[in-house]
Amino acid sequence: MIPLLLIHLIKIACVIGVMLGIVAYTVLAERKICAWMQDRIGPNRVGPFGLLQPVADGLKFIFKEDVLPHHVNKVYFTLAPMIAMIPALITIAVVPWGSQLVIPSVSHDPIPGVIANLNVGILFVFAISSLGVYGIVLAGWSSNSKYPFLGGIRSSAQMISYEVCLGLSVVPVFMQVGSLNLMKVVEYQAQHTWLGFTQPLSCFIFLVSAFAETNRLPFDLPEAEQELVGGYHTEYSSMKFAMFFLGEYAAMFMASALMATLFFGGWSLPFAPFNAPAQTLTVGLIHIGIFLAKVCGFLFFFIWVRWTIPRFRYDQLMTLGWKIFIPLTLLNILISGVVLAVITK
């Protein structure tokens, strides 16, 4: 028997480790896939098929000179990349990676496939990820130069606007499931249908808003190389830059995980034995595999869209958010409410 605390610590270590590993390889995948789309080969020098490229990148980041421009506000300048990176790592705690792991030799009760089975799971995610905007705002402000500042301003406006969309778009999901707990959401989908099919509008708006929240193309206005040099991380170098970079990809991972969990059945597949909590260790592990496969699918989608669609103009972005998505989400909530009331009557 292993004490509960130790099990938790092991779980946290595994989740963070796997997540950062996938994040590192997403960077490689991004470069590879964009190369393929442009009829190129992409990085293939470090290791077989370039598979060790993330290691080389990491080493490069560590050994680069960490430039601290003299005109920056040092405390906030150093703080900003940390704040930008942490939210994605914290919020993954409430996302169920699998149903449960039954290991009798380790613990009596099955180990749930989630670090924190929080009842207000999705609110927790929104709350913490809404703090991520401080990283970008502070980076823009403390850099004390114009392009980062513009980037910071843009991103804060963008992220606040789309947080509203994001929050409203998932309301019908929870109206249907009747719980804010992500574990319950997945179990509901395992028993019934995937919510992506019953709530397609929610799903679509959530997906698009997730692009805006993670500052990915077509909504990467805070970085917008062509007009803002590099946006909020113009003045950053070395490991500090790497943290922004990792933060962006970790946020992408988180968005993919949420998409998979909320709309595409999380760890479940719509047939036995994958549509019920696992009773054996093997099935439990396969559940985790299914979840990760779905996440990787969405990560691919993120990359695919990035290398296809050009950037929106800033006013188009805001129009889309405030004038189209928010009314649409409200309408969606109304319709879902009526339909649910009729069905349950």
Interacting residues toward another protein by CB under 8 A = 33, 35-41, 76, 117-120, 123-124, 126-128, 130-131, 133-134, 137-138, 141, 149, 152-153, 156-157, 159-160, 163, 180, 304-305, 307-309
Half-sphere exposure of 74 (CA within 13 A, CB side): 4
Select 107 or 130, whichever has its Cβ closest to another protein. 130
CB closer to another protein, 285 vs 328: 328
Residue with smaller CB distance to another protein, 204 or 274: 204
Q: Residue 344's closest CA among 216, 206, 178, 189? A: 178
The nearest distance, CB 37 to another protein, in angstroms, is: 4
Least distance to another protein from the beta carbon of 45, Å? 9
Residue 100 has phi, psi (to 5 degrees) of -160, 155
Smallest distance from another protein to CB 143, Å:
12
| Sign of the alpha-carbon torsion through 155, 157, 160, 163 | negative
Query: CA of 190: how far to CAs of 177, 281, 291, 292, in Å?
Result: 12, 18, 13, 16
Q: How many CB atoms lie within 10 A of CB 294?
A: 21
Yes or no: say if 125 and 89 are a contact pair by the CB < 8 Å rule: no
Query: Least distance from C-beta 245 to another protein, angstroms?
Result: 22
* Calpha distance 295→255 (Å, rounded): 9
Closer by beta carbon to another protein, 208 or else 224:
208
Nearer to another protein, 33 or 101 (CB): 33
The least CB distance from residue 138 to another protein, in Å, is 8
Contact 211, 305 (CB under 8 A): yes
Q: Give the nearest distance from C-beta 209 to another protein in angstroms.
A: 15
CA angle 128, 129, 133 (to 5 degrees): 115
Give the Cα separation of 110 and 281 in Å (integer): 10
Smallest gap, in angstroms, from Cβ of residue 168 to another protein? 13
Torsion angle, CA of 200/201/207/213, rounded to 10 degrees? Answer: -150
Place of tokens 């991004």: 30
**Residue 178 or 289 with smaller CB distance to another protein:** 178
> For residues 110 and 218, which CB has a smaller minimum distance to another protein in the complex?
218
Q: Which one, 17 or 47, has the nearer CB to another protein?
A: 47
DSSP 289-338: HHHHHHHHHHHHHHHHHHTTSPPPPHHHHHIIIIIIIHHHHHHHHHHHHH
Q: How far is the CB of 130 from another protein (least distance, A)?
A: 3
